[in-house]
């Protein structure tokens, strides 16, 4: 995805390109996963001259649970279109949109399979 995004003529797009991603928390629960994310970001910004990326690192299960008893999840913050918002304060449609986003995981890089 970053390789494809890196092909956009970002200099011709006013304000750059906003990229929201939802990342599985399990992807970062160990040093190897954290190193993969750092490598990915360094490549995106250094090689592809990426403009912006922001992550929601929260599981689908947690987001679904937060819809049921919202009082237990008042401090759950998510990224929405360049801003942060309390998940439980969002409209049900906005909550469903965040839940429906593809949840990515960090797999081996092409050269490391």
Residue 107's pLDDT is 65
Confidence of residue 102 (pLDDT cuts 50, 70, 90): low
Strand ranges, E, within 59-110: 77-80, 83-86, 103-104
* Residue 111: pLDDT over 50: no
Residue 42's pLDDT is 93
* Residue 52: pLDDT over 70: yes
Residue 21's pLDDT is 83
Q: Would you say how long the chain is, in residues?
A: 113
- Residue 22: which H helix or E strand, with range? strand 20-23
Q: Report the SS3 class of residue 56.
A: strand
Q: Report the SS3 class of residue 80.
A: strand
The predicted model gives 34-49 an average pLDDT of 90
The Cα–Cα gap between 67 and 48 comes to 37
**What are the domain boundaries of the chain?**
2-7+18-104
CA 91 to chain centre: 20
* Residue 105: pLDDT over 80: no
């Amino acid at each position: 995805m970053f390789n494809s995004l890196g092909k956009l003529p970002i200099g011709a797009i006013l304000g750059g390109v906003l990229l929201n991603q939802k990342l599985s928390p399990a992807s970062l629960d160990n040093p190897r996963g954290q190193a993969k994310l750092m490598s990915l970001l360094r490549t995106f910004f250094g090689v592809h001259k990426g403009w912006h990326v922001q992550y929601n690192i929260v599981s689908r299960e947690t987001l679904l649970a937060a819809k049921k008893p919202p009082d237990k999840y008042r401090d759950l913050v998510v990224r929405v279109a360049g801003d942060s918002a309390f998940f439980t304060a969002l409209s049900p449609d906005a909550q469903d949109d965040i839940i429906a986003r593809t949840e990515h995981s960090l797999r081996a890089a092409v050269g490391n399979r």
